Amino acid sequence: MLLKPMVTMHIGFDDTDSPRMGCTTYIAALLVVKLHQMGAFFVDYPNLIRLNPNVPWKTRGNGALCLRIRCNEEHTGEIMEATIDTIEKNSDSSCTNTNPGVVFLLNDIQNDLRVFAKRAIQGIVEMKEALKIVKTSGAEAVGIKNGRGIIGGLAAIGETLERDHTYEVITYRTLKNRGTPRRIHIPSVTEMNEKTSPLTFNNIDSETGRILIAPRGPDPILYGIRGESPEAVKQAHKIIRPQEPIERWVIFRTNHGTDAHLHQANSTSEIKPFNPVIVQGDLCKEPEVILGGHVIFRIKDEKGEVDCAAYEPTGALREVAKKLIVGDSIEAYGGVRPASSKHPVTVNLEKIRILKLAPKLSFSNPKCPHCDRRMKSMGKEKGFRCDKCGFRSSELEKVVGEHERTVRKGLYLTSQRSQRHLTKPLLRYGTEKAKTPKKMIVDWHFP
């Protein structure tokens, strides 16, 4: 009896949700069960790939999904049909800005697809470029409405997470509970954080005590826990005591917490609107607190200048920004807001690395050498006069004083509550991964 040939299939999809409902990871969770039932087996955890968080048309976290499976070659057609059917039934296609797309690839992932994926994470890519790569790679793509989700689906296939990556276990609510306040035993979240940190991260905001694992919107997610390994997030999940039923859960492998979106610019002249960037410069304008509590300052290099903004929700980062002075040398990390009639191009800060601190100086009039009283200036380059004893001098100079800085060199991040999915937390520095996992754990999803 001849054995049927097996093939590896990459299934990428995106743009299925809207601000009012849905979740692309939930569709992935449904497909995990369906594809298992169809005889496929997974060669990797579902890949949750966060794309450029600054694109203006994104919904929430801008996450695309890729499922990587082995299946019988003769079953590929029905797997494609089942995938498309599941996406169509669970997408909010009635929303104007929801344009689902799915890509199927049976061939090896070529370098041009990997490059495309990196550009989708760090910049802006066009549909015509995506469709060209679909054709040259031998993939198949299906789009609903304008099919913009094909871009994300293709990028999710191309980002194979062969370098740094993390994991997230995501649990989903039953249909009847969606749209109602989430019910989780709060002390169990604290217990989980204490027992699993630093192998899990961003569970609780350290400044306010706010629980960060549960979203606030109408999507079907109950909670998600991020961490360094599938074992860590699964252990954390077991500690949580939900007070409502969990319909299903899945462990994803992801680029969360890796700074994958940030591109090192050689100068301020390379900064582009909507592109996340790392750029170095010296402060040339003192920080200013504007309406709303936001802090704005400007940095310059040999090629130009750019404004940087630490918004009020960034918390600790805003406080650091307020302490900077002209002459400080920094690296600014963040997304680039385009210019408008009200403001120039601005880096919306996610992090600041202080490279060099300028001396903080003050200048005061000299004291009278006869009576020790502070003298007064008689005008520019005219010297000083003592009002008490009448002594005058054109030789005395301003007294220079240097004050201790209340900030130190180093890396500073936004408060945990305002960190983006892709932002690398401080505790992850030095723990970055350099290769993919060799095998998957048992029971990485339910059902």
pLDDT of residue 379: 85
Q: Residue 20's pLDDT is what? A: 78
- 334/398 same-domain check: no
Q: Is residue 30 part of a domain?
A: yes
For residues 187 and 235, membership in a common domain is answered with: yes
| 367 and 347 inside one domain | no
Q: Using the 3D structure, point to which of 238, 259, 280 is the last residue of a domain.
A: 259
Residue 417 has pLDDT above 80, yes or no: yes
Q: State residue 97's pLDDT score.
A: 85
Q: Which residue segment(s) compose the domain that 383 sits in?
A: 360-403
Looking at residue 193, which CATH number applies to its domain? 3.90.600.20
d(CA 146, CA 167): 31
* Segment among 18-27, 33-42, 213-222, 228-237 with least mean pLDDT: 18-27
Question: Same structural domain for residues 187 and 228?
Answer: yes
Both 66 and 89 in one domain: the answer is yes
CA distance 26 to 90: 9
What is the band of 392 on the pLDDT scale with cuts at 50, 70, 90?
confident
pLDDT of 190 reads 98
- Number of structural domains found in the chain: 4
Quick one: 11 and 152 in the same domain? yes
Q: How far apart are CA 384 and CA 311, in angstroms?
A: 44
Q: How large is the average pLDDT for residues 302-325?
A: 95
Collapsed DSSP state (helix, strand, coil) of residue 82: helix
Is 245 exposed, middle or buried, given 0-12, 13-18 or 19+ CB atoms closer than 10 A?
A: exposed
Place of tokens 């408060």: 415
Q: Do the domain assignments include residue 443?
A: no
Would 437 be classed as within a structural domain? no
Indicate the DSSP class of residue 182: P
Identify whether 39 is part of a domain.
yes
At residue 117, the pLDDT reads 98
- Tell me the mean pLDDT in the region 412-430: 95
> Chain-wide mean pLDDT for the chain?
94
- Check whether residue 43 and residue 31 sit in a common domain: yes
Q: Is the pLDDT of residue 290 over 90?
A: yes
CATH code of 129's domain: 3.30.70.2200
Structural domain includes residue 109 = yes
In a domain, 430, yes or no: no
- pLDDT value of residue 60: 63
Shared-domain flag, residues 21 and 146: yes
In a domain, 439, yes or no: no
Which token pair is 205? 């905001």
- Per the model's pLDDT, the better-predicted residue between 440 and 4 turns out to be 440
Residue 15 shares a structural domain with residue 83:
yes
Pair (239, 255) in one structural domain:
yes
What number is the average pLDDT over the span 378-397?
87
How many Å is the Cα radius of gyration of the chain?
Answer: 27
Whether residues 133 and 219 fall in one domain: no
* CATH assignment of the domain containing 275: 2.40.50.1010
Instruction: Provide the pLDDT confidence category of residue 402 given band limits of 50, 70 and 90.
Output: confident
Model pLDDT, residue 2:
56
Under the banding of pLDDT at 50, 70 and 90, the label for residue 116 is very high
Mean pLDDT of 96-124: 94
Based on the domain organization, do 267 and 351 belong to the same domain? yes
pLDDT tops 80 at residue 317: yes
Token duo for residue 334:
């963040």
pTM of the model: 0.91
Q: What is the pLDDT of residues 46-96, one digit of tens each?
A: 999 999 999 887 666 789 999 999 999 999 999 999 999 999 999 988 888
Task: State the pLDDT at residue 3.
Answer: 62
Residue 151 lies in a domain: yes
